[in-house]
Structure 1
Amino acid sequence: MAKLRKLLPRYKRAALTRSQSMSRIRSTDTAPERVVRQLLSLAGIRYRLNVRDLPGKPDFANKTRKFAIFVHGCFWHSHEGCALASDPKSNRGYWRPKLDRTKARDLEHLRRLEELGYRVLVVWECSSRKPELAAREIVEFFSSS
Protein backbone atom coordinates (compact mmCIF):
# COMPACT_ATOMS: atom_id res chain seq x y z
CA MET A 1 0.00 0.00 0.00
CA ALA A 2 2.83 2.41 0.84
CA LYS A 3 4.38 1.86 -2.56
CA LEU A 4 1.08 2.59 -4.29
CA ARG A 5 0.74 5.81 -2.27
CA LYS A 6 3.98 7.14 -3.79
CA LEU A 7 2.86 6.38 -7.32
CA LEU A 8 -0.33 8.40 -7.21
CA PRO A 9 -0.20 12.16 -7.82
CA ARG A 10 -0.49 14.27 -4.66
CA TYR A 11 -4.05 15.41 -5.39
CA LYS A 12 -5.27 11.79 -5.60
CA ARG A 13 -3.71 10.67 -2.32
CA ALA A 14 -5.33 10.97 1.07
CA ALA A 15 -4.25 13.95 3.14
CA LEU A 16 -1.34 13.39 5.48
CA THR A 17 -2.08 12.96 9.15
CA ARG A 18 -0.67 15.52 11.58
CA SER A 19 1.93 12.97 12.68
CA GLN A 20 3.03 12.26 9.11
CA SER A 21 3.21 15.97 8.32
CA MET A 22 5.27 16.80 11.43
CA SER A 23 7.64 13.87 10.86
CA ARG A 24 8.75 15.45 7.57
CA ILE A 25 10.01 18.62 9.24
CA ARG A 26 13.79 18.48 9.44
CA SER A 27 15.96 19.89 12.20
CA THR A 28 19.25 20.05 10.26
CA ASP A 29 20.23 20.55 6.63
CA THR A 30 17.11 22.56 5.88
CA ALA A 31 16.74 24.64 2.71
CA PRO A 32 17.45 27.94 4.56
CA GLU A 33 20.58 26.36 6.12
CA ARG A 34 21.79 25.23 2.70
CA VAL A 35 21.39 28.79 1.35
CA VAL A 36 23.41 30.24 4.24
CA ARG A 37 26.03 27.49 3.90
CA GLN A 38 26.48 28.34 0.23
CA LEU A 39 26.79 32.07 0.98
CA LEU A 40 29.38 31.46 3.72
CA SER A 41 31.39 29.22 1.40
CA LEU A 42 31.27 31.77 -1.42
CA ALA A 43 32.55 34.40 1.01
CA GLY A 44 35.43 32.11 2.00
CA ILE A 45 34.34 31.91 5.63
CA ARG A 46 35.42 28.80 7.52
CA TYR A 47 32.93 27.23 9.92
CA ARG A 48 31.77 24.05 11.61
CA LEU A 49 28.19 22.76 11.39
CA ASN A 50 25.95 22.23 14.44
CA VAL A 51 28.62 22.71 17.11
CA ARG A 52 27.29 20.65 20.00
CA ASP A 53 29.50 22.02 22.77
CA LEU A 54 28.30 25.63 22.34
CA PRO A 55 25.05 26.89 23.89
CA GLY A 56 22.13 26.38 21.53
CA LYS A 57 24.16 24.22 19.13
CA PRO A 58 24.62 26.96 16.49
CA ASP A 59 24.04 25.96 12.88
CA PHE A 60 27.42 27.48 11.92
CA ALA A 61 30.25 28.42 14.26
CA ASN A 62 33.97 29.06 14.36
CA LYS A 63 35.60 28.85 17.80
CA THR A 64 38.79 30.56 16.68
CA ARG A 65 37.05 33.60 15.19
CA LYS A 66 34.39 33.41 17.93
CA PHE A 67 31.23 33.66 15.85
CA ALA A 68 28.01 31.71 15.84
CA ILE A 69 25.24 31.81 13.25
CA PHE A 70 21.74 30.49 13.80
CA VAL A 71 19.27 29.93 10.96
CA HIS A 72 15.81 30.26 12.48
CA GLY A 73 12.53 29.17 10.95
CA CYS A 74 10.09 32.07 11.13
CA PHE A 75 7.20 29.95 12.49
CA TRP A 76 9.15 27.87 15.00
CA HIS A 77 11.04 30.83 16.46
CA SER A 78 8.15 33.37 16.22
CA HIS A 79 9.72 35.98 13.93
CA GLU A 80 8.02 39.25 14.85
CA GLY A 81 6.21 40.97 11.99
CA CYS A 82 6.82 38.15 9.51
CA ALA A 83 4.10 36.63 7.33
CA LEU A 84 5.68 33.19 7.71
CA ALA A 85 5.31 33.33 11.50
CA SER A 86 1.59 32.63 11.66
CA ASP A 87 -0.23 32.41 14.96
CA PRO A 88 -1.79 28.93 15.18
CA LYS A 89 -5.57 29.11 15.36
CA SER A 90 -6.16 25.57 16.60
CA ASN A 91 -4.88 24.11 19.87
CA ARG A 92 -3.62 27.49 21.10
CA GLY A 93 -3.22 26.13 24.61
CA TYR A 94 -0.41 23.94 23.28
CA TRP A 95 1.20 26.14 20.61
CA ARG A 96 1.41 29.52 22.39
CA PRO A 97 3.39 28.25 25.42
CA LYS A 98 5.57 26.08 23.15
CA LEU A 99 6.51 28.99 20.89
CA ASP A 100 7.04 31.28 23.91
CA ARG A 101 9.42 28.73 25.46
CA THR A 102 11.35 28.58 22.18
CA LYS A 103 11.77 32.37 22.14
CA ALA A 104 12.93 32.39 25.76
CA ARG A 105 15.38 29.55 25.10
CA ASP A 106 16.76 31.38 22.03
CA LEU A 107 17.40 34.53 24.11
CA GLU A 108 19.15 32.47 26.80
CA HIS A 109 21.41 30.82 24.20
CA LEU A 110 22.28 34.22 22.73
CA ARG A 111 23.08 35.62 26.17
CA ARG A 112 25.31 32.65 27.08
CA LEU A 113 27.20 32.83 23.77
CA GLU A 114 27.81 36.56 24.20
CA GLU A 115 29.09 35.89 27.74
CA LEU A 116 31.60 33.48 26.19
CA GLY A 117 32.75 36.28 23.86
CA TYR A 118 30.99 35.10 20.70
CA ARG A 119 29.42 37.38 18.14
CA VAL A 120 26.02 35.99 17.14
CA LEU A 121 24.02 36.38 13.93
CA VAL A 122 20.47 35.13 13.43
CA VAL A 123 19.45 34.59 9.81
CA TRP A 124 15.70 34.20 9.45
CA GLU A 125 14.04 31.81 7.01
CA CYS A 126 12.30 34.70 5.22
CA SER A 127 15.62 36.43 4.44
CA SER A 128 17.13 33.16 3.20
CA ARG A 129 14.39 33.05 0.58
CA LYS A 130 16.02 36.17 -0.89
CA PRO A 131 19.71 35.17 -1.03
CA GLU A 132 20.84 38.73 -1.80
CA LEU A 133 19.28 39.89 1.49
CA ALA A 134 20.90 37.06 3.48
CA ALA A 135 24.23 37.77 1.74
CA ARG A 136 24.01 41.42 2.78
CA GLU A 137 23.36 40.41 6.42
CA ILE A 138 26.35 38.05 6.38
CA VAL A 139 28.67 40.65 4.79
CA GLU A 140 27.62 43.29 7.34
CA PHE A 141 28.12 40.82 10.20
CA PHE A 142 31.66 39.94 9.15
CA SER A 143 32.70 43.45 8.12
CA SER A 144 31.75 44.82 11.55
CA SER A 145 34.21 42.54 13.37
Structure 2
Amino acid sequence: MLEIALHGPARAHPVGRQVPVTVTVRNTSRDVVWAAGVLDGSEDGVRYPRYLPSVLRDGRPVAGPPAPEDPLVGPLRPGDFRRLAPGESFDPTGHGFLPLTTFTTYAPDLPGRYLYGLSLSTESDTPEDWLGRFGQGEERAAVLELVKRVPRLTVTSVPLEVVVE
Protein backbone atom coordinates (compact mmCIF):
# COMPACT_ATOMS: atom_id res chain seq x y z
CA MET A 1 0.00 0.00 0.00
CA LEU A 2 2.83 2.41 0.92
CA GLU A 3 6.48 2.04 0.07
CA ILE A 4 9.32 4.01 1.60
CA ALA A 5 12.61 4.54 -0.23
CA LEU A 6 15.90 6.23 0.56
CA HIS A 7 18.10 7.93 -2.01
CA GLY A 8 21.72 8.96 -1.53
CA PRO A 9 24.96 9.74 -3.29
CA ALA A 10 25.90 7.65 -6.32
CA ARG A 11 29.63 7.92 -5.54
CA ALA A 12 31.80 7.43 -2.49
CA HIS A 13 31.20 10.06 0.16
CA PRO A 14 33.95 11.83 2.14
CA VAL A 15 34.62 10.98 5.79
CA GLY A 16 33.41 13.56 8.29
CA ARG A 17 30.59 14.98 6.18
CA GLN A 18 26.86 14.46 6.55
CA VAL A 19 25.49 12.16 3.82
CA PRO A 20 22.66 13.74 1.79
CA VAL A 21 19.80 11.27 2.11
CA THR A 22 16.35 11.94 0.71
CA VAL A 23 13.15 10.04 1.43
CA THR A 24 10.18 9.12 -0.76
CA VAL A 25 6.86 7.64 0.35
CA ARG A 26 4.91 6.17 -2.57
CA ASN A 27 1.40 4.78 -2.89
CA THR A 28 1.79 1.29 -4.43
CA SER A 29 -1.92 0.44 -4.26
CA ARG A 30 -4.71 0.93 -6.80
CA ASP A 31 -6.62 3.18 -4.43
CA VAL A 32 -6.15 6.64 -2.98
CA VAL A 33 -4.11 6.51 0.24
CA TRP A 34 -3.59 9.16 2.90
CA ALA A 35 -0.24 9.65 4.64
CA ALA A 36 1.46 12.17 6.91
CA GLY A 37 5.04 13.37 6.89
CA VAL A 38 7.61 13.72 9.66
CA LEU A 39 6.11 15.72 12.53
CA ASP A 40 7.33 17.00 15.85
CA GLY A 41 7.84 13.77 17.85
CA SER A 42 7.72 11.36 14.85
CA GLU A 43 11.43 10.57 14.84
CA ASP A 44 11.80 9.96 18.56
CA GLY A 45 8.64 7.81 18.79
CA VAL A 46 6.57 10.23 20.88
CA ARG A 47 3.73 10.37 18.32
CA TYR A 48 2.48 8.84 15.10
CA PRO A 49 3.36 8.56 12.34
CA ARG A 50 6.66 7.15 13.53
CA TYR A 51 9.59 7.62 11.19
CA LEU A 52 12.49 5.69 12.73
CA PRO A 53 15.85 6.11 10.96
CA SER A 54 18.99 4.07 11.49
CA VAL A 55 22.60 4.01 10.32
CA LEU A 56 24.67 0.82 10.63
CA ARG A 57 28.36 0.16 10.10
CA ASP A 58 29.63 -3.42 10.22
CA GLY A 59 26.18 -4.49 11.37
CA ARG A 60 26.24 -2.21 14.43
CA PRO A 61 24.14 0.92 14.95
CA VAL A 62 26.19 4.12 14.73
CA ALA A 63 23.29 6.59 14.56
CA GLY A 64 19.59 6.52 15.33
CA PRO A 65 16.73 8.59 16.64
CA PRO A 66 17.40 10.78 19.64
CA ALA A 67 15.96 9.79 23.00
CA PRO A 68 12.62 11.51 23.61
CA GLU A 69 13.25 14.75 25.45
CA ASP A 70 9.81 16.22 25.82
CA PRO A 71 6.44 14.62 25.12
CA LEU A 72 4.96 18.07 24.46
CA VAL A 73 4.57 17.92 20.69
CA GLY A 74 2.76 20.48 18.58
CA PRO A 75 -0.74 20.06 17.20
CA LEU A 76 -1.62 17.87 14.26
CA ARG A 77 -3.12 19.88 11.38
CA PRO A 78 -5.05 18.90 8.22
CA GLY A 79 -2.09 20.23 6.20
CA ASP A 80 0.12 17.51 7.72
CA PHE A 81 -1.61 14.92 5.53
CA ARG A 82 -1.07 14.13 1.86
CA ARG A 83 -3.61 12.49 -0.41
CA LEU A 84 -1.72 10.10 -2.68
CA ALA A 85 -3.26 8.82 -5.89
CA PRO A 86 -2.09 5.40 -7.12
CA GLY A 87 1.62 5.65 -7.98
CA GLU A 88 1.96 9.13 -6.49
CA SER A 89 4.73 9.94 -3.99
CA PHE A 90 5.88 12.69 -1.66
CA ASP A 91 8.88 13.64 0.45
CA PRO A 92 7.84 13.26 4.11
CA THR A 93 10.75 15.53 5.11
CA GLY A 94 9.98 18.18 2.51
CA HIS A 95 7.93 21.36 2.51
CA GLY A 96 5.91 21.69 5.70
CA PHE A 97 7.51 18.71 7.42
CA LEU A 98 10.55 18.22 9.62
CA PRO A 99 13.89 16.76 8.56
CA LEU A 100 15.09 13.49 10.03
CA THR A 101 17.82 14.74 12.35
CA THR A 102 19.51 11.33 12.39
CA PHE A 103 20.27 11.81 8.70
CA THR A 104 20.89 15.57 8.75
CA THR A 105 23.33 15.59 11.67
CA TYR A 106 25.24 12.29 11.50
CA ALA A 107 28.59 12.47 9.69
CA PRO A 108 30.45 9.14 9.35
CA ASP A 109 33.87 9.51 11.00
CA LEU A 110 35.47 6.34 9.59
CA PRO A 111 35.77 4.95 6.08
CA GLY A 112 33.60 1.97 5.28
CA ARG A 113 30.20 0.81 4.10
CA TYR A 114 27.24 2.29 5.91
CA LEU A 115 23.65 1.11 5.69
CA TYR A 116 20.99 3.78 6.08
CA GLY A 117 17.49 2.56 6.87
CA LEU A 118 14.08 3.97 7.70
CA SER A 119 10.87 2.45 8.98
CA LEU A 120 7.47 4.10 8.98
CA SER A 121 4.78 2.97 11.38
CA THR A 122 1.18 4.13 11.45
CA GLU A 123 0.04 1.28 13.72
CA SER A 124 -1.22 3.37 16.60
CA ASP A 125 -3.54 1.89 19.20
CA THR A 126 -5.89 4.87 18.92
CA PRO A 127 -6.19 7.85 16.55
CA GLU A 128 -5.45 10.09 19.54
CA ASP A 129 -1.85 8.76 19.53
CA TRP A 130 -1.30 11.10 16.56
CA LEU A 131 -2.48 14.29 18.26
CA GLY A 132 -0.36 17.05 19.72
CA ARG A 133 -0.14 17.52 23.46
CA PHE A 134 -1.23 21.15 23.29
CA GLY A 135 -3.07 23.52 20.97
CA GLN A 136 -5.07 20.83 19.18
CA GLY A 137 -8.19 22.99 19.49
CA GLU A 138 -11.05 23.07 17.04
CA GLU A 139 -9.26 21.07 14.33
CA ARG A 140 -9.28 17.95 16.53
CA ALA A 141 -12.31 16.32 14.91
CA ALA A 142 -11.09 17.05 11.36
CA VAL A 143 -7.62 15.61 11.94
CA LEU A 144 -9.00 12.52 13.69
CA GLU A 145 -11.06 11.85 10.56
CA LEU A 146 -7.92 12.15 8.43
CA VAL A 147 -5.98 9.84 10.79
CA LYS A 148 -8.69 7.20 10.25
CA ARG A 149 -8.00 7.34 6.48
CA VAL A 150 -4.31 6.47 6.90
CA PRO A 151 -3.70 2.74 6.44
CA ARG A 152 -2.34 0.97 9.51
CA LEU A 153 1.00 -0.55 8.61
CA THR A 154 4.71 -0.67 9.23
CA VAL A 155 7.01 -0.48 6.22
CA THR A 156 10.80 -0.47 6.08
CA SER A 157 13.01 0.86 3.33
CA VAL A 158 15.48 -1.27 1.45
CA PRO A 159 18.81 -0.35 3.08
CA LEU A 160 20.72 2.40 1.30
CA GLU A 161 24.40 1.50 1.10
CA VAL A 162 26.76 4.45 1.28
CA VAL A 163 30.50 4.01 0.77
CA VAL A 164 32.52 6.47 2.84
CA GLU A 165 36.19 7.06 1.96
The answer, yes or no, to whether TM exceeds 0.5 is no
Higher relative contact order (CA 8 A, sep 6+): 2
Query: What TM-score comes out, normalization by structure 2 length?
Result: 0.27
Q: Which has the larger radius of gyration?
A: 1
When you count helix as a share of all residues, which structure comes out higher? Answer: 1
TM-score (norm 1): 0.29
Query: As a proportion of its length, which structure holds more strand?
Result: 2
